[in-house]
Structure formats: structure tokens, C-alpha cells
Amino acid sequence: MDATWIWIAFNLFVVGMLALDLGVFHRQAHAVSVKEATWWSVAWISLALVFNAGIYFYWQQLWPDSAYTNQDAALAFLTGYLIEKSLSIDNVFVFVLIFGSFAVPAAYQHRVLFWGVLGALVLRGIMIAAGAALITEFHWVIWIFGGFLIFTGIRMVTSDGHASDPTQHTMVKVLRRIFPVTEGYEGQSFFVKRNGMLMATPLLAVLLVVEVSDVIFAVDSIPAIFAVTTDPFIVYTSNVFAILGLRSLYFVMVGAMDSVRYLKPALAFILSFVGVKMLLPDATYYLLGDKMHIPVQWSLGVIVLTLVVAVLASVFANRRDAARSGHA
């Protein structure tokens, strides 16, 4: 089979799955439950594993000129997928920050993430095709984004917790220089017509911030998979499958933690940690002459441990309060 058709077939499969997702299962705006998100997570992970099995059995038939054996290609895909999946945990917490900052209703969050994922697939495809040159060109953005995450984590602990007005967000003010913007959300629409005039809604600003955040994370994560393999098809497909499962992972984690009273300080710590992780290699290079990286497994371990502590502390506090009210 010609290599071009393999690329076309894979992308048509992805577009078809996304169309099924939005056009059938999420046609009506609604808040995604933990149960629904869990089933979607299982579905996306299962598809990735089936695809990995296909590589194992058919790689040499599809790519006869490849230097990889079937086993090597399958291992490279699985490693890359696991790395991107682990790194995508960072994105999830930034999504929490973005939606909270814009006070986005739960019913509209899936639509933003859907189009955010679609845009991320295109942008990551471009970045992977451009390779290390483009990544190096935009590497300086990590400094800004990492500092912003640390600042946000600190501010999250010290803020009063009141919901913000989305129309006063900086991104909305920037968007107003290009489009007239409505005074509030208009359902799940990104654009509406008022008196014959096309107007953007604050939800479009949310989508733009989601897209920008993914590009910045791609600058940080794509080099990680390039360290595993430089085969463009394996790099791209492992990225795609990790991104496709990102939305459902977000709803699983957010839905499961809705009742955790210590989620806010835990989230603040995680955001600050992610910021430090992004800044650490460059900071240590300038200070010590050598880049220090926090390994993916350590990063994932810190995040999981933080969430476990937050959950256990919340359970203990809830039981203590229940016991006190029972004795009152």
C-alpha cells in the first residue's frame, strides 16, 4: 500500500470517530457524567491498543522500507503513547484552570474540548512535520507559560474563590479588537448573528486559550517522544490517540473530584509543579550548565500522590465534621 493512502486512511478514521462523537453521542449540550466519561476513556484506550496490535502484526507489510521490525514499531508506538498519555495529565489540570477562569458552564465544556482536540490534531501534525526546528523556534514560550502556571497556582490559594466574569477576561478583551463580542455565553455557539452582524461569544475566547495551551504543551512533550522514535507515523499516531482520550480523561477526573474539599489547594500545587517542571531544564542549564529533567514517571507520581492526599484528607475532614455534628 502506498504510504500516502495509509496517512489518508488513518486521518479519515480519526475524523469519522470525532464526527460520531459530536454528531451522535454529544449532539445536545449536556454536562458529561463520570460514568459516561469513563466509558469513553475505555473506548479510546481500547482503540489505541487495537491499533498497537495492528502495528505489531502488519507494520512490515504496510511499511516495507522501514528500519523497524513489527515488534520494534509496536514497542515504539506503545512507549510513545504512554509518554504522551502521562504528559497529557498536565493538560487536564490546565483545562480546569481555563474553564474556572472563564466560568464556563459544564454543559458547554465538551464542545470546547472537542474543537480544541480537532485543532490540536492539526497543529501537532504541523509541528511534528516541521520537527525539531519549529520546536526550538518556539521553545521560549515555555518560560512565559511555566511562570504563568506558578503564578496562577499561588493566586488560586490566595483568591476568594468567586466565579469570574468571562466578559472581563483578558482573552475576551483581545478578541474584541477583532470581532464584536456578546455580553455573555450564547449556548454552545462560538458565533452568533445580531442585527445582521456576526459576533463572537466568550466561548470562542475559551477555545483559543485551550488551543494555545495545547501548542505550548506540545513544545514540551513532542521532544519527549522524538527521544523514543523519529518515525513520523508512529510519532503522529501515538500523539493523536493520546489527545483523543484527553477530553474523557478531563471529565473523569473533574467529575470524580467534585466533592473533594481540598481539591483547590491540590490543584494549586499541581499547577505550580507543572510550571516548575517546564522551567527546570532551562533554569538548571543556565545556572549549572546541565539540563535537569523531571522524569515522566516522577511527574505522574507527584500528581497522583497529591490527588490521593487531597482525597484522603477530604474524606477524613468530612467524617470528622459528620461526627461533630452528630454529637452537637
pLDDT tens, N- to C-terminus, the chain (328 residues): 567 888 889 988 888 888 777 665 666 666 777 788 888 889 999 999 999 999 999 999 988 888 889 998 999 898 888 878 877 777 787 888 888 878 888 888 888 888 888 888 888 788 777 765 655 666 677 787 778 778 777 876 776 555 455 666 677 777 888 888 888 888 888 988 888 888 888 888 889 888 888 877 776 667 767 767 778 899 889 988 988 888 888 888 777 666 677 877 887 887 788 788 878 888 888 888 888 877 767 877 887 888 889 889 988 888 888 887 765 5
Residue 62 buriedness (CB in 10 A; 0-12 / 13-18 / 19+): middle
Cell 462523537, residue located: 21
Backbone angles phi, psi at 187, to 5 degrees: 65, -140
What are the residues facing 193 on neighbouring strands?
198
pLDDT at 167: 60
Q: What is the pLDDT of residue 166?
A: 62
Q: What is the pLDDT of residue 71?
A: 92
> How far is the C-alpha of 81 from the C-alpha of 45, rounded, in Å?
10
Question: Residue 59's pLDDT is what?
Answer: 93
Amino acid 35: pLDDT: 83
List the domain boundaries for the chain.
3-327
pTM above 0.75, yes or no: no
SS3 for 230? coil
> Residue 237, Cα to own-chain centre: how many angstroms?
16
- Measured CA to CA, the distance from residue 49 to residue 52 in angstroms comes to 5
Beta strands at 197-200 and 191-194: parallel, antiparallel or unpaired: antiparallel
- Closest Cα to residue 262, out of 300, 298, 301, 308? 308
Query: Are 126 and 219 within 8 A, CB to CB?
Result: no
Q: Report the alpha-carbon distance of residue 288 to residue 30 in Å, rounded.
A: 51
On the CB side of 130, CA atoms within 13 Å amount to 15
**Burial letters 254-275, b for 16+ CB under 10 A, else e:** bbebeebebbeebbbbbbbbbb
Residues paired with 191 in a beta bridge: 200
Q: What was the pLDDT predicted at 133?
A: 61
Residues 6+ apart with CB under 8 A from 275: 145, 146, 147, 148, 149, 150, 151, 153
pLDDT given at position 177: 84
| pLDDT score for 282 | 82
Burial group, residue 65, by CB count within 10 angstroms (0-12, 13-18, 19+): exposed
Contact 311, 260 (CB under 8 A): yes
Q: What is the pLDDT of residue 46?
A: 94
**Are the C-beta atoms of 126 and 256 separated by less than 8 Å?**
no
Integer Cα distance of 214 and 193 in angstroms = 29
Which of these, 1, 56, 63, lies nearest to 232 by C-alpha position? 63
